[in-house]
């Protein structure tokens, strides 16, 4: 959370229009929303100042969404990460959840659905004790 009391959200997608639409949907909730157009850019931003929730596209050139998920969780086991994809499969969903994603959202999605998932992710994080390794 920032000094202004706003939750920090990072949106990672190689398509600028997707990042902008997610940002627009979340700014309605008075979050501070940053965008990264690659996994590498996301890692740099996360290393400067961690975000409360990271929304990651599964399919990206270079560092894939699953690779980014692994790296973010390695750096911060309590990271709250929501995966989004235009190509949902049971395999991708299970793999992302096993790697520590808190939810999986298929594209296209309604802005209200996204806002609800982010609010739930923030709520889970606020009730989870710091340093807790429990997953359920």
- Residue 78 or residue 4, greater confidence: 78
Report the alpha-carbon angle 46-51-55, nearest 5.
90
CATH number at residue 97: 3.40.50.2300
Q: What are the pLDDT digits (tens) for 36-65?
A: 999 999 999 999 999 999 999 999 999 999
pTM (2 decimals)? 0.88
Q: Indicate whether 2 belongs to any domain.
A: no
Residue 66 lies in a domain: yes
Establish if 134 belongs to a structural domain. Answer: no
Percent of the chain surpassing pLDDT 90: 74
Residue 22 belongs to a domain: yes
Residue 77 lies in a domain: yes
Q: Pick the residue with more confidence: 130 or 61?
A: 61
pLDDT of residue 125: 62
The pLDDT score that the predictor gives to residue 14 is 96
Identify whether 78 is part of a domain.
yes
pLDDT of residue 122: 92
Q: Give the chain's domain count.
A: 1
Share of the chain above pLDDT 70, in %: 88
Write down the pLDDT at residue 126: 64
Q: Return the half-sphere exposure (C-beta side, CA atoms, 13 A cut-off) of residue 7.
A: 21
Considering only CA atoms, which of 74, 76, 72 is closest in space to residue 55?
72
21-to-5, 65, 92 alpha-carbon distances in Å? 23, 19, 23
With 70 as the cut, is the pLDDT of residue 127 above it? Answer: no
Contact predicate 51/9, CB 8 Å: yes
Q: Is residue 1 part of a domain?
A: no
- For the chain, the three-class secondary structure string (H helix, E strand, C coil) is CCCCCCCEEEEECCCHHHHHHHHHHHHCCCCEEEEECCHHHHHHHHHHCCCCEEEEECCCCCCCHHHHHHHHHHHCCCCCEEEEECCCCHHHHHHHHHCCCCEEEECCCCHHHHHHHHHHHHHHHHHCCCCCCCCC
Decide if pLDDT at 131 tops 80.
no
pLDDT (mean) for 98-115: 93
Structural domain containing residue 62:
8-126
Question: Is 96 contained in some domain?
Answer: yes
């Amino acid at each position: 959370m920032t000094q202004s009391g706003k939750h920090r959200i990072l949106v990672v997608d190689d398509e600028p229009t997707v990042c902008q639409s997610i940002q627009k949907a979340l700014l309605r909730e008075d979050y501070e929303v940053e965008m990264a157009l690659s996994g590498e850019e996301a890692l740099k931003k996360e290393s400067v100042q961690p975000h409360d929730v990271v929304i990651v596209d599964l399919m990206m050139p270079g560092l894939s969404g699953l690779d980014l998920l692994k790296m973010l969780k390695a750096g911060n086991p309590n990271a709250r990460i929501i995966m989004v994809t235009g190509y949902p499969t049971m395999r991708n969903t299970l793999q992302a959840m096993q790697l520590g994603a808190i939810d999986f959202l298929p594209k296209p999605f309604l802005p209200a659905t996204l806002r609800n998932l982010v609010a739930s992710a923030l709520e889970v994080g606020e009730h989870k004790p710091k340093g807790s390794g429990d997953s359920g």
